[in-house]
Structures are given as structure tokens and as C-alpha cells.
Structure 1
Amino acid sequence: MLAFDDPLPRRPHRIAVAGVSGVGKTTLAARIAEITGSPHTEIDALFHGPGWTERPEFLDDVTRLVATESWVTEWQYAPARPLLTSRADLLVWLDLPFWTCVFPRVVRRTLRRRIRREELWNGNIEPPFHTFLTDPEHIVRWSIRTRHKYDERIPAMADDAAAPDIVHLRTPAEVERWIDGPLRASVLPA
């Protein structure tokens, strides 16, 4: 597993960004896409249909995405992860401290989206505030419950020779140093 200051072994073309809800996967994926020139596809937009239901075409869309030569997306949704992993040449694990970085972000984002009634994917908006108390799948409650889901899964992948290269980023400062250092260096002409 690579640290934030380790050089990348090659220029990445197919990149998945992993991390818990609210950690900044989509924001980082968009930044990576801008630097590498690879298109960013927000995987939530492929997954969510009207009424927060899974789109029937989801896995077909992911299959088409990973068949292309260059892409950046988020590494989420259990049925999609094996497809993404099989084609990715880089997995970026965004593993920021939950209670000081991630939790405040997911709460702020959820509140902002609900207050502004921001349309997300296929007409969906954040549910009313009271659902935090009534819905065990509410995004804030879900983020708390699943905050450790990658702690063993991703390190175990690092031992698999078929797995993509993995970069482990643990703080916002490491994210910035990785972007400005190894990532930018990997896309410079030789």
C-alpha cells in the first residue's frame, strides 16, 4: 500500500476512490479527473433512480464504464466493486478521521441539501429532518454505523497481486500533498 508521498508506479488511467459516506470521495474524484484528464462519472448518478431506488441498468452502466480506457469514479455499491476493482489501475483510499472530519461533513452536507431542497439524482432530495430519528438508513445514521467498513477490506486487498495499486490518505493535508506531489508527477510527460 502506498502512502501519500510515495511515487505512483505508473500514470493512472482508471481510478476508483474509496471511503465512507461524507469523506469527500466525489470531490476528490473530480479533482483527480481534472488533473489526469480522465472523465469523472459519479457512481451515485448511475445507481439512484426515482424514489432512491436502484436503477435496473446500474450494473450494465458500470460494466460499460469500466470497459473504457480512462475513468475516475467512486468505489462503492457491493455489486459494482468487483467490476471497478478488476479494471482499476489505482484505488485511492480516503481514510480521514471520522469524528473530526467526516461526521461534520456528512451532517453539513445533509443539512445544506435538505434546506436548499437540492435535487440530487433522478429527482431525489434529502428526506425531512425528522427521518434522522425514524429511519435507520438515514444517511447520517448510516455513516456512523458503517464508519469502519473499509478498515479490514482494503488492507486485505493490498496483499492480492491482482488488485490495483492502493494509495492510503489519512488526513486532509495528506490528500493535498498527494495531489500536488505523486499524482501530478505521474501525469507529467517523461
Structure 2
Amino acid sequence: MRRILVVGSAGAGKSTLAREIARRLDLPLVHLDAHYWQPGWTPPDAALWRDRVARLAAAPAWVMDGNYAGTLDLRLPRADLLVFCDLPRLLCLYRVLRRRWLHRRVPRADLPPGCPERVDGQFLRYVWRYPRRSRPRLLAAVASSAPEVPMVRLRGRAEVRRWVDTLSADPSGPADAGPVRDRR
């Protein structure tokens, strides 16, 4: 397992989980937000972004976190494992608001300079609507782009902890993905 893609709602813990996976498996970490956003939350040109993601995905090893549905077709076929953080929406909303409070003065490490943590009504609606709008689109994209890629679907904090505890960079220890969940 050399390329692991971590996706899910905002506030689901993608970046934190990706950091821990990268640490435990001794793999390079790629936070897509840090490569996407420019100062002032300015998005890059679409063609430039796809080229950047293609280069990142072409690396021999990575743990990559971020949704960016427009580039799933570039990342999924390269992934050895998809980890879907599918946590409850109220927990995600709480985490988004807590993260905003905690990073009101100190920038997040997974965001580029000039992009302070922010939360507005549109973002909160996105998080609230994720289970009905974005989750089905993500699962459909996975089914059509890379149905052969194993997926672990984590639905709660305890499940995340148990799964992470199965990971090991030690060649003599369990280095597989642990139990692979259904795609429902």
C-alpha cells in the first residue's frame, strides 16, 4: 500500500487522519488544499490545477487528502486504497466550528499562507448537505472511475481509531488496509 487517498466531508477529519496514516506507514503526505488555494482563497486556473494534481498523483507513494471531485479521475486510478471519512454531519459541523475557533490566530498547517481559516453560511450549508448531495456523487465517481480500488468507509470516531490501529510501517506487522468496508 503506497498510495492512499482520503476523502470525506469538511470536518470529517481527513487531514488529521491523512497525517496519522502517513506517519504510521512512513509515506509522503499531500494536503490538496495546500496545493489548490492561492493567497486570499484564490483558486487556480482549472487546467493548471489538473496538471498539478496529475503530477502529484504520478508520484510513487503518497497519502493524499482532499475531495476535489474534478480531479478524482486523475487520483483514483493511481490509488491503492480509498479511505472515505463518512462521519455524522453534526460531528462534522461541530468540528468545522471548533477548527475555526482554534485557528482564529494561528494558521492551519494544511493550508497555504494567506488563507486563514474561515467559515460562512455557504460552507456550513455544504457540510450540512454533504450526506445527501456530495456523498452520492463521490460514491458514483468511485464506482465509475475506479471500482477496483479497495475502499475503507469509516463512519465514526471509534471506527477511525480502530482502523488506524491496524496500520503499521513495520514489514513484520500488519501493513494491509485492515477491513475493507462496503461501498454503500
The alpha-carbon distance between structure 1 residues 159 and 107, as it changes in their structure 2 partners (threshold 3 A), is same
Instruction: Look up the match of 2:51.
Output: 60
Distance 1:83 1:159 in 2: 13
The secondary structure found in structure 1 opposite 2:116 is coil
Moved over 6 A (4+): none
**TM-fit CA distance, 1:141:** 3.3
- Structure 2 residue aligned with 1:103, among 86, 93, 104? 93
Alignment of 1:124-163 (within 5 A): 124-127=115-118, 132=120, 136-137=121-122, 139-156=123-140, 157=142, 162-163=147-148
**TM-fit CA distance, 1:124:** 1.6
The alpha-carbon distance between structure 1 residues 26 and 161, as it changes in their structure 2 partners (threshold 3 A), is closer
Distance 2:152 2:70 in 1: 22
Identity %: 38
**TM-fit CA distance, 1:80:** 1.7
> Is residue 30 of structure 2 the alignment partner of residue 41 of structure 1?
yes
Bigger Rg, which one: 1
Distance 2:152 2:73 in 1: 18
- 1:68-97 per-residue CA deviation (whole Å, 9 max, x = no partner) reads 110011141122211111211100011111
- 1:95-135 per-residue CA deviation (whole Å, 9 max, x = no partner) reads 11111x21110111122223x153642312135x7xx3xxx
**TM-fit CA distance, 1:40:** 0.4
For structure 2, the 5+ residue unaligned runs are 169-173, 177-184
1:169 maps to amino acid = L
> Is residue 98 of structure 2 the alignment partner of residue 113 of structure 1?
no
**TM-fit CA distance, 1:55:** 2.5
User: Are the aligned partners of 1:66 and 1:87 in contact in 2 as well (CA < 8 Å)?
Assistant: yes
For structure 1, the 5+ residue unaligned runs are 1-11
User: Are the aligned partners of 2:73 and 2:145 in contact in 1 as well (CA < 8 Å)?
Assistant: no
With normalisation by structure 2, the TM-score equals 0.79
Instruction: Look up the match of 1:92.
Output: 83
Instruction: Look up the match of 2:40.
Output: 51
1:180 maps to amino acid = D
Quote the RMSD (CA, aligned, Å). Answer: 2.3
| Number of equivalences | 166
- Structure 1 residue aligned with 2:162, among 144, 155, 177? 177
**TM-fit CA distance, 1:66:** 0.8
With normalisation by structure 1, the TM-score equals 0.77
> Is residue 60 of structure 2 the alignment partner of residue 69 of structure 1?
yes
The secondary structure found in structure 2 opposite 1:41 is strand
